[in-house]
Amino acid sequence: MSEFSTPKLDKTRVSKVPKTPINIPPSPFMKKLGFGTGVSVFRWDRSPRPDATRSPWALKKLDKRDLPRVFEQRLAKEAELLKSLKHPNIVGFRACVPGKDGRMTLAMESCESSLADRIEDRKNDEMGPLSSEVILKVALGVARGLDYLHREKKLLHGDMKSYNILIKGDYDEIKICDFGVSMALLPDGLAAAPDNFVGTSVWSAPEVVGLSDGPVSSKVDIFAFGLVLWEMIALEIPHTDDLAESNFDISITEDDLENRIGTRPALPPVDLDDSYNSIMEIFYCCTEQDPSVRPTAQLLVEWLEDLTGEKPLGEGDDEMLVDH
């Protein structure tokens, strides 16, 4: 893997109010890529300039002007965080500006799809689990991104899931996105404000939902990382795989689902060849109930580089990130 080098970006692209106005088109004129609580994400295919083509951007916009203040604060916080992150496995920041409707808009590097989209397509096509080669490639990209967040930036992502992993090409680039609920980590890896943790329930670690006495720490992301591996095999959202298959004579209640959250989901009844053995070992290690025995992101990177034969980042030819 070649070395990643951060370019010097034009200041108009990293300020909240660029000197050169960015005219964000109205939402109906853009393709909707996804949505979250209070926000939607759109693809903006920017018009080419006379001297160059321009890459598309992904725009995260508040859904309504009158949303509670916390939603705007969360988007502003995400913009500030994303602006400070420079890594090939983290989605790139482009700008944060008000749209024509006055709502704040976070502009980011656009990827073709999320991992969740790829999983859903594969399920719909009845193709079975992602190949072991693809799973290892995705796992390495995500682990590298988490290692950068945990060790260098002292940051807990806090909402790891397939929806927040973006894919370019034939799994050529793997990028973590959505830092709206991320929180600072102390030097020892513990969350600085554990009571403020907000994540997505079915990807929650035992310590988050009270099933373990362990503290909220970087190991929360590791548990969710393990569930992402499970997603790529089961082609389902964790803990919900048998809900859709239940017939009308069986009632799966909210209490049933609540009792599963924070546990290791059972593997689906699929035949996996020996190439998946290492993946399953990592899955089990990452989803241990005791966070202290889960691996660190750094250790995951070492394991996965060994399994895939990939060189550590920084070895090889220089590679520049070009922002068009």
What CATH number labels 30-109? 3.30.200.20
CA atoms within 13 A on the CB side of 290: 2
What strands lie across the sheet with 93-98, from one edge to the other? 31-36, 39-44, 57-62, 104-109, 93-98
Q: So what's the pLDDT on residue 247?
A: 38
Q: Higher pLDDT residue, 242 or 57?
A: 57
Residue 110 region by backbone torsions, left for phi larger than 0, else alpha for psi between -120 and 50, else beta:
beta
Residue 55 region by backbone torsions, left for phi larger than 0, else alpha for psi between -120 and 50, else beta:
beta
Give the residue numbers annotated as catalytic, written as ranges. 159
Q: In whole angstroms, what is the distance from residue 98 CA to residue 292 CA?
A: 43
Residue 153 region by backbone torsions, left for phi larger than 0, else alpha for psi between -120 and 50, else beta:
alpha
**Phi, psi at 312, each rounded to 5°:** -60, 150
Closest CA to 184 of 193, 174, 175: 193
Contact 41, 32 (CB under 8 A): yes
List pLDDT tens digits, range 159-215.
Answer: 999 999 999 999 999 999 999 899 999 999 999 999 999 899 999 999 999 888 899
3-state secondary structure of 44: strand
Contact 320, 5 (CB under 8 A): yes
Q: Which CATH superfamily is domain 113-308 in?
A: Transferase(Phosphotransferase) domain 1 (1.10.510.10)
What integer is the mean pLDDT of 84-100? 89
Q: In whole angstroms, what is the distance from residue 249 CA to residue 68 CA?
A: 41
**Phi, psi at 249, each rounded to 5°:** -90, -5
Task: Give me the residues paired with residue 57 across strands.
Answer: 44, 109
Q: Where are the domains of the chain?
A: 30-109, 113-308
Please give the structure tokens belonging to residue 193.
Answer: 């404000």
Query: Which residue type occupies 152?
Result: E
Q: Determine which helix (DSSP H) or strand (DSSP E) holds 34, and give its type and residue range.
A: strand 31-36
Pairing of strands 113-114, 104-109: unpaired
% the chain with pLDDT above 90: 55
Question: CB atoms < 10 A from the CB of 230, how many?
Answer: 25
Question: CB atoms < 10 A from the CB of 283, how many?
Answer: 23
Q: In whole angstroms, what is the distance from residue 83 CA to residue 106 CA?
A: 10
List pLDDT tens digits, range 105-159.
Answer: 888 998 878 999 999 999 999 999 999 999 999 999 999 999 999 999 999 999 9
pTM over 0.85: no
Q: In whole angstroms, what is the distance from residue 1 CA to residue 182 CA?
A: 28
For the chain, the first-to-last Cα distance in angstroms comes to: 23
